[in-house]
Amino acid sequence: MPNLIQVQNASKIYGGGLIKRSDATIAVDKVTFTLSDEYPTITAIAGESGSGKTTLSLLMMGQISPDAGQVLYRGRDIAKLNNEERTIMRREVQPIYQDPYAAYNPFYRVDHVLQMPIKRFRLARTKAEATRVIENSMEMVGLRPAETLGRFPHQLSGGQRQRLMVARALLCKPQVIMADEPVSMVDASLRATILASLRKLNSELGISIIYITHDLTTAYQIAENIIIMYSGCVVESGAVNQVIRSPKHPYTKLLISSIPLPDKSKKWGGQEADETQNKGRKSTGCRFANRCPVAMDICWKEKPPLYTTDPDRAVACFRYDDSPVMESLDVAAVFSRKGKAQPGATQ
Amino acid sequence: MASQKRGLLRDPRINPSLIFGVVVIILMILVGIVGPMLLNEKLARVGAVEPNMPPSAQNVFGTDSQGRDVFTTLIMAIPPTLRVGVIAGVISVSLGLALGLIAGFFGGWADSLIRTFSDVLMAIPSLAFMILVVARMDRPNILVVAVIVGFLTWSGTARGIRSMVLSIRERSYTAVARANGETEVEVLFREVMPNLLPLMLASFIGAVTMGIYTVMALEVLGLGSNVIPTLGMMIFWSQRFSAVLRGMYWWWSPPIVVIALIFIGLFFLSFGLDRFINPAIPIKRGRSRIKLPTQPTAPDTAIDPRDAIMEVRNLRVVYETPAGLVKAVDDVSFSLRPGERMGLIGESGSGKTTMATAMMRLSRPPAYVAGGRVLLEGRDLFNIPDRELNKLRLKEIALMPQAAMNSLNPVVRVGPQFKDAIVAHLGRLPDNQLNEMVAQALTKVGLKPDVARNFPHQLSGGMKQRVVMAIATILNPKVIIADEPTSALDVVVQQQVMQTLGRLQKELAAAVILIGHDMGLITQFADTIGVLYAGKLVERGDVQTVLDNPLHPYSRLLIDSLPTLDGKHDLVGIPGLPPELLHLPNGCAFHPRCPFAMERCRTETPVLQTPLAGRQVSCHLYPEHTQLPPLTIGIDSSSAVIEVASSMGA
Amino acid sequence: MLRYIGQRFLQYLLIIFIANSLTFLLPRIIPGDPIQEALQTKAAAAGHQNVDIQAWVAEYNAKFGLDQPLWKQYLNYWGNMLRLDFGYSLFDFPATVMSKITAAIPWTLGFMTMAIIIAFVVGTILGALLAWPNSPRFLQGAVPLLMVISAIPFYLFGLALIFIFGVELHILPTGGGADPTLIMRWDWNTLGNILQHAILPAFALVLYGIGSWALGMRATLVTVLGEDYITFAQAKGLPDRQVFTRYGVRNALLPQVTGLAISFGLILGSGVLIESIFNYPGIGSLIFAAINSKDYFVINGTVAIMVFTASTALLIVDLIYPLIDPRIRFGK
């Protein structure tokens, strides 16, 4: 079983009644992506709001089902898992959400979210063992049990709450952690701590992490590979060192030049306003065509395939049509595999 | 459990309305239970006493035309009246809960079916309908009537439960519960239901009110049972025998008073419950909403007033909370040169937005300016009359508020929202001149002039932000306060909006205070920076200088924690917990997290000083040092954890 | 937009269908024979003790078509509904139900319209004043009083008002729509007399209405005044008064106006109790009398009219709402 999660040519369409199909938004458009368990790695899925990154993660967790294509977990279609397999998958694929306050039921003390998985997944035999397991995972993310447990969620800071969520995920002994914007609602000075603990879970415990974000600087810092999404499609994919340090797709370039860096010598690029002449035109080809500064005629008519421009990168843009079209549809096929295999990492 | 109960009684959401309602209703229930035990029930029967007698020692409330003792009848009438309400309430809430849960939890066709049905029920006037049904009954049984009322009134509860379930489902804790291995049924009963309790209680009170009201109305109309005395029947009987016209006040007035008490109790109970559930609704508002109590409390320590366009001196803003006064902005002083772009950076709770509104004299309760001055070209904004202040706002000092999404009046087109501002400052102008000004302002921020004809909700987030920017700059203000102008925008749009703001700033030669939490954004936009921590200005200086050589330990750690694109490095956050404004540590608020903390920092609050030219810092390391000493030991907060990790792996 | 209107109209038809089916079906599920009961009541009232009630009932049943199968009755019922033909009064034969309703409607519309408008205007202004930051302090003390007033079922005020102004002070009539001796003419005397009779029942409604309109306005306005667009309007340097009226009151009026339209929709049903207490010759007294004489067809017809006007009014409210709130007009 080499592959943990396989998204195969999956699409997800939201909205649109029976009568008017045009209202529908294609949130994820024929994406194929494999998360292997050979190399525990951190993969970033990045894009702006509406890019489909969260929808893709929900598909991978089986929380929604694709309208076309399929999602496999350890080679089995998620939709067809039996109860036992589903429970295993639930435990092995753990989410971390954006809002560290909404993730807690205000009715209970924070201990509730740590005790439930122990009971449901039978992670401890005795009470003492449960306490030890909980305390171990809390210490792993740098929390002191004494100043955290027994409190109500509103009595903790945002950073504490989010770290406790990481501890909760860790408690379940997951194979994968799906972290959806885990630090965007946390203060800057506390972000680094949370990201560092995610990185540690990956490097020390061999847990794969999918890091969903709009922030390319944190993606660059913690991820090994990255998928850039725009309007439901993958526009660029590969090793972060390639994609972020020398972007090729016009959209990736735009994104990266828009990042305000805390360094005056690195001037902000980009245009002042984007209300250009093409805004209203509908593209049946590349979805980025109406914002693209270098769009060609073909871009409006045809959807670009992924071209393998470098060993570690694929770009969906006709400007690179001199490079070979990617053989596999899998956007992970170009990922760098520097992460060493950790056979004993599955705990 | 016991500790939770104590906590509930001390809950700040408990309000006088709630207490009053509970007391009245409990009193009524007690009278209804105890009263009949103490009284002779026979006196409430027809012909038990001499009819039509005014109050006397024997019959305290007199007797009615049919020979009943009014007082006894009144007390005997309370329990059946309340029982009717409770039965209607229980049925209505159970149905509403079940259907609301189904609609909210499963959605789809079940949801639309339930919704359509509840729409239909809501459109049918329930009293009229009840009249029709009950009029067909040979001898109306009030309990049956209560049951029917319950069946007719569930739709409000169902709607409330449904929308609550939907909002709970949006909160990720249900998803977390599933990830924790809970089944759907468990999620429903363990996670969702407990949070529905207050709403169910409020719905129950509403349904009880509705039940009592409807049954009583039917009784007053003559659709009651002549057998059991209820409060409604007492009114009906007194009406039938013209008690009012015959001046028999002792007969008709006691039931009215008791009915009124029951409804008042129920009303205040539900009102108080609503406040309990939604404590955000402001309960008390005083006149001070716009007028501010402003006496400077600290001595002025004017700093570098030379050629400053604006000076903030010893500004203090406090929040009045049930737990005490919170110092949100504490003794902040700085000055701004004409045309300067100043960034004000702070994390949540640092007081940056509070400061922005205070500088415009727009603080609203529970926030109060507790001291200090804001001098705009020498005029103290806190010490001028409203009329004069209004002349300065927008024309001299403009604010782009944090929530640009909600800063435009939703029911007025964009154009008039420019024009009222222009007219307020320049007086009435010819229409074409006004239109011209609006068109120019819109063009300047990169929008088409016909945006003026749109309503705000027709614009995207970035466009709304541009409209707000165009309004704020239309009268060429000398100072612009921009409070997180791009916080809700995607990175590309953020960049475009900030470029526009930068160009406008250059054209107007205005000074800008950019408030934010993103160091990158402030670096790219601003010339100088002020760093806020727990309501205090801890460092001020030129942006690049501060980035290269921060003087305050907090600035240093904050800058070190920022991710960059210059190669991967260790991610190091600031250790410890962010400050709680209600329980700020003594001395320097940062000392519990500071790697350089000394004994003095625990006791003595540092003041802003100038250890280097053009640099200000509030830290006890200065003036002994001229820069921050190097950090020798690693302060990686997770260093302690690495051992644990290895022991876990073993 | 067209889709919205279409959907809303379909829903309206559904409401009418379900409501009418229920008004047809429910009474027929409940055991008992309305005609026999009514005639017994009538006979008792008239003193015909020895009339053959059964023969009379059979005659009436044939006249009203109650001897036909249920489905035929149902179709018949719909046919009559669409023609607004509710049959004859049982108690007051051969007066038609519709003639009784049309005679009563002007009275109800007259005094209720007066009451609703006065209560709305006074209540809304009072509510706005209560929410105004610069309003005098003593006004704030009125809030608990308004809460108390709006909590009490308003027909109870009616009893107290009759007692105070009619019985004790003798300055206003205690009931009825006009003096029984008055000859109706189009002159000031008639109008004055009618108004005089309408004052007390209207006052009871107005008292209650002021309380609930004022509380509603105050609550909405307080929320609106906390919105960010109010802060921005102040930051634009607009005078307080203009911020309050053009930005605050303007937005807070929307739900009030909706409420007003709904109360006009419920106009026929909401005065029932007050009318019966004042013996006011409108729809309320009609239904009150019908209930007590078991005149089932009058009850049925009146309720059908109430349901019809109420659901039509709700439809109209939903259709005009987009005109007053642009967010709905231009939203999807």
DSSP alpha helices (H): ranges in B449-588?
461-473, 491-508, 519-525, 543-548, 553-560
Give the closest of B249, B403, B455 to C330, CB-based: B455
- Indicate if C135 and C200 belong to the same structural domain: yes
The closest CB to that of B136, out of C30, C219, C251, belongs to: C30
Domain co-membership, C142 together with C273? yes
Confirm or reject contact between A158 and chain B (CB < 8 A): yes
Percentage of residues of chain C with pLDDT beyond 90: 12
Q: Which tens digit of pLDDT belongs to each residue from A246-259?
A: 999 999 999 998 88
The distance of C241 to chain B (nearest Cα, Å) reads 11
Cα B542–B501–C248 angle (5° rounding)?
115
Q: What is the mean pLDDT of residues C133-137?
A: 76
Q: What pLDDT was estimated at residue A273? A: 52
Contact (CB, 8 A) for C280 and C194: no
Decide if C221 is inside a domain: yes
d(CA B269, CA A58): 43
- Selected for mutation to probe chain C from B407, B471, B480 (highest C CB count within 10 Å) is B407
Assess whether pLDDT exceeds 70 at residue B76.
yes
- Alpha carbon of A30: minimum distance to chain B alpha carbons (Å): 24
Considering the domain architecture, whether residues B541 and B555 belong to the same structural domain is answered as no
In this structure, the number of other CB atoms found within 10 A of the CB of residue B378 comes to 10
User: Cβ of B52 under 8 Å from any chain A Cβ?
Assistant: no
Instruction: Place B636 in a pLDDT band, splitting at 50, 70 and 90.
Output: very low
Looking at residues C121-141, what average pLDDT do you find? Answer: 86
CATH number at residue C252: 1.10.3720.10
C131 and C264 assigned to the same domain = yes
Q: Report the 10 Å Cβ neighbour count for B56.
A: 11
C114/C211 same-domain check: yes
* Nearest of B453, B424, B421 to residue B439 by alpha carbon: B453
Q: Is A270 left (phi over 0), alpha (psi -120 to 50) or beta?
A: left
Q: Are B631 and B621 in contact (CB under 8 A)?
A: no
Question: What does the alpha-carbon distance between residue B222 and residue C291 come to, in Å, rounded to a whole number?
Answer: 7
Is the Cβ pair B136, C325 closer than 8 Å?
no
From chain B, the residues in CB contact with C162 under 8 A are: 244-245
Contact call for C229 and B406, based on CB within 8 A? yes
Residues 197-236 of A with CB under 8 A from B: 197, 199-200, 204-205, 214-218, 220-222
DSSP character for B69?
B
- Considering its fold, how many domains does chain C have in total? 2
Q: Are residues B43 and B167 in the same domain?
A: yes
The answer to whether residue B285 sits within a structural domain is: no
Shared domain check, B633 and B487: no
Q: Is the pLDDT of residue B301 over 50?
A: no
User: C touches which chains (3+ CB pairs under 8 A)?
Assistant: B
The answer to whether residue B371 sits within a structural domain is yes
DSSP 8-state symbol, B398: E
Lowest mean pLDDT among B167-181, B422-436, C163-177: C163-177
Give the end of a domain, one of B501, B525, B548.
B548
pLDDT at C64: 63
Q: Is C149 part of any domain?
A: yes
pLDDT above 50 (res B25): yes
> Token pair 């989410």 is at which residue?
A95
Same domain, B555 and B543: no
Q: Is A94 on the interface with B (CB under 8 A)?
A: yes
Where does residue B450 rank: exposed (0-12), middle (13-18), buried (19+ CB within 10 A)?
exposed
Round to whole Å and give the CA distance between B20 and B268: 7
Give the mean model confidence (pLDDT) for residues B610-619: 88
Chain B residues closer than 8 Å to A158 by CB: 348
Lookup: tokens for A135:
């305390």
- Residue C31 counted as domain residue: yes
Query: With an 8 Å Cβ cutoff, is B471 touching chain C?
Result: yes
**For residue B260, is it within any domain?**
yes
Q: Do C153 and B132 touch (CB under 8 A)?
A: no
Nearest CA in chain B to C317: B123
In a domain, B408, yes or no: yes
Q: Does residue B313 share a domain with residue B239?
A: no
Angle at B51 between CA B45 and CA B56, to 5 degrees: 100
Residue C88 lies inside a defined structural domain of this protein: no
Cis omega (within 30 of 0) for bond into C94: yes
Residue of B245, B233, B231, B140 lying closest to C279 (CA atoms):
B245
Is residue C297 domain-shared with residue C261, that is, in the same domain?
yes
CA torsion, points B541, B546, B552, B554, in degrees to nearest 10?
120
C-beta neighbour count of B513 within 10 angstroms: 26
Statement: residue B223 has pLDDT above 90: no
Can you tell me the mean pLDDT for A93-112?
A: 91
Strands (E), chain A: 3-14, 25-36, 42-46, 68-73, 76-77, 93-96, 176-180, 208-213, 225-230, 233-239, 307-310, 313-315
Please check whether residues B426 and B540 belong to one and the same domain. yes
Q: What is the pLDDT of residues C152-181, one digit of tens each?
A: 888 888 888 888 888 888 888 887 777 777
Say if residues B18 and B276 touch (Cβ distance below 8 Å).
yes
The verdict on a CB contact (< 8 Å) between A187 and B491 is no
The amino acid that residue B185 corresponds to is V
- Check if the beta carbon of residue A176 is closer than 8 Å to that of residue A205: no
Task: For residue B277, count CB atoms less than 10 angstroms from its CB and return exposed for 0-12, middle for 13-18, buried for 19 or more.
Answer: middle
Residues A292 and A230: their CA atoms lie apart, in Å, by 12
CATH of the domain at B542: 3.40.50.300
Which chains contact A through at least 3 pairs of Cβ atoms less than 8 Å apart? B
Query: CA C147, CA B221: separation in Å to the nearest integer?
Result: 26
In the three-class reduction of DSSP (H, G, I as helix; E, B as strand; rest coil), residue A28 is classed as strand
Minimum mean pLDDT among A285-294, B21-30, B333-342, C11-20: which range? C11-20
Q: Tell me how many domains chain B contains.
A: 3
Name subunits touching B (3+ CB pairs < 8 A). A, C
Query: A273–B572: do the CB atoms touch at under 8 Å?
Result: no
Report if residue C7 sits inside a domain. Answer: no
Q: Which chain C residues are closer than 8 Å to B472 by Cβ?
A: 235
Contact C142, C127 (CB under 8 A): no
Query: The domain spanning residue B129 has which CATH number?
Result: 1.10.3720.10
> Span B432-452, mean pLDDT?
89
Provide the pLDDT for residue B540: 92
In whole numbers, what is the pLDDT of chain B averaged over residues? 83
Scan residues 180-239 of B and list those with Cβ closer than 8 Å to A: 180-182, 191, 194-195
Last residue of a domain, one of C82, C113, C141: C82
Mark whether C160 and C290 lie in a shared domain.
yes
**Nearest CA distance, C120 vs chain B (angstrom):** 21
Cα(B282)–Cα(B275) distance, integer angstroms: 9
How far is B229 from chain C, CA to nearest CA, in Å?
Answer: 18
| B493 inside 8 A of chain A by CB | yes
The answer to the question of residue C331 being in a domain is: no
A36-90 per-position pLDDT tens digit: 878 889 999 999 888 889 999 999 998 888 999 999 998 889 988 898 888 899 9
Cβ contacts of B570 on chain A, cutoff 8 Å = 196
Chosen for mutation from C234, C266, C272 (greatest number of chain B CBs closer than 10 Å) is C234
Instruction: Return the residue of C nearest to B420 by Cα.
Output: C238
B413's CB contacts (< 8 A; 6+ apart) are B452, B453, B454, B455, C326
Residues C56 and C190 in one domain: no
C157 CA: distance to closest CA in chain B (Å):
9
Co-location of B272 and B328 in the same domain: no
Q: Where are the beta strands (DSSP E) in B324-471?
A: 324-336, 341-345, 367-376, 379-380, 397-400
Do B473 and B338 share a structural domain?
yes
- Give the bridge partners for A234, in sequence order: A229
Domain enclosing residue C71, as ranges: 13-82
Same domain, B383 and B514: yes
Residue of C nearest to B471 (CA): C236
Q: Which member of C27, C246, C272 has the closest CB to residue B133?
A: C27
For residue B183, the enclosing domain spans 20-277
Quote the minimal CA–CA distance from B96 to chain C in Å.
Answer: 20
Among B530, B474, B590, smallest CA distance to B355 is for B530
Q: Is-contact A316 A233, C-beta < 8 A?
A: yes
Measured between CA atoms, the residue of chain A closest to residue B172 is A103
Q: Which residues of chain B make contact with C296, given a CB cutoff of 8 A?
A: 135-136
Contact between A113 and B176 using a beta-carbon 8 Å cutoff? yes
pLDDT surpassing 50 at residue C40: yes
Mark whether C184 and C62 lie in a shared domain. Answer: no
H-helix or E-strand spanning residue B538: strand B536-542
Does C15 contact B287 at a Cβ distance shorter than 8 Å? Answer: no
Residue B33 lies in a domain: yes
pLDDT(A22) > 60: no
For range B404-416, the mean pLDDT: 88
Contact across the interface for B128 and C219, Cβ inside 8 Å: no
Residues of A in contact with B558 (CB under 8 A): 188-189
Do C20 and C147 belong to one domain? no
Residue B457 within a domain: yes
- Rg (alpha carbons) of chain B, rounded to whole number: 34
* Residue B9 lies inside a defined structural domain of this protein: no
- The domain boundary, picked from C36, C52, C82, lies at C82
Which of B135, B386, B394 is opposite residue C296, by nearest beta carbon?
B135
Residues C150 and C203 reside in one and the same domain: yes
B residues 248-287 lying closer than 8 A (beta carbon) to C: 249, 252-253, 256, 259-260, 263-264, 266-268, 271, 281-282, 285, 287
Contact A139 B641 (CB under 8 A): yes
Instruction: Give the nearest partner residue to B347 out of A117, A136, A189, using CB atoms.
Output: A189
With tokens 């400007």, the residue in question is A319
CA distance C240 to chain B (A): 9
Range from B435-449, C46-60, C305-319 carrying the lowest mean pLDDT? C46-60
Q: What percent of chain B lies above the pLDDT cut of 70? A: 91
Q: Which of B548, B575, B598 is the last residue of a domain?
A: B548
Distance to chain B for C187, nearest Cα, Å: 30
Q: What is the pLDDT of residue A272?
A: 58
Residues on chain C touching B268 (C-beta within 8 angstroms): 147, 151
Q: Is the peptide bond before C326 cis (omega within 30 degrees of 0)?
A: no
Q: Check whether residue B261 and residue B312 sit in a common domain.
A: no
Distance CA A336, CA B108 (A): 43
* CB contacts, 8 Å: C237 with chain B: 389-395, 421, 424-425
Q: What H or E segment, with its residue span, contains residue B530?
A: strand B528-533
Same structural domain for residues B611 and B501? Answer: no
Whole-number pLDDT of residue B188: 87
Both C277 and C318 in one domain: the answer is yes
Is residue B465 domain-shared with residue B553, that is, in the same domain?
no
B8 within a domain of the structure (yes/no): no
- C116 and C35 co-located in one domain: no
Residue that terminates a domain, selected from C23, C54, C82 = C82
Q: Assign C222 a pLDDT band (cuts: 50, 70, 90).
A: confident
